[in-house]
Amino acid sequence: MQLTVVEGDITQQDVDAVVNAANNRMRGGGGVDGAIHAAGGPEVLEDCVRRFPDGLATGDAGWTTAGQLPARWVIHVVGPNYRIGQTERSLLTSCYRRALEVADELGVRTIAFPLISAGIYGWPKDDAILAAVETLRGTPTRVEEARLVAFGRDAYDAIRAVVDREVQE
């Protein structure tokens, strides 16, 4: 699998699936979740309510329509909230692994990920980047391209540095 890094808006990525950093309730929220629901339109929320009436557990993943997004599917993952004591790294890496498993079930070839839990959920950014890169590189999948979408230049530079370092090692 090719791992790429781009700076931009995850809602504008022309890929088979985008990954949404959702909350347990699966009813929309702030950050990436709010942006995906806003850009995808009401179909995304309607599908979340229908498919996940009880939400999802932390570390798990499930898919819905992408509504009006350029992607075909949204793969929702529930990242750990570091700020409230969900500090087990396995919960974070499970999000990336489970998203790839769901992608394989759907036949996804291209997928775009945000940096899960590194925003309002407070996961230390350097470790969030390492967890993403290590898990995406180390998980067997039929996905051909996994794209890490950085929101802002500082995030792009930090992710790019880890990806470049991992390639050299």
Q: Which residues are catalytic?
A: 33
Instruction: Return all residues near 34 (Cβ < 8 A) that are at least 6 apart.
Output: 28
Residue 15 backbone phi and psi in degrees, to 5:
-135, 170
Which among 63, 64, 127, 126 is positioned nearest to 98, based on CA atoms? 63
Tell me the two tokens of residue 13: 């990525």
Structure-token match 């009436």, residue found:
53
Residue with tokens 């880890």: 162
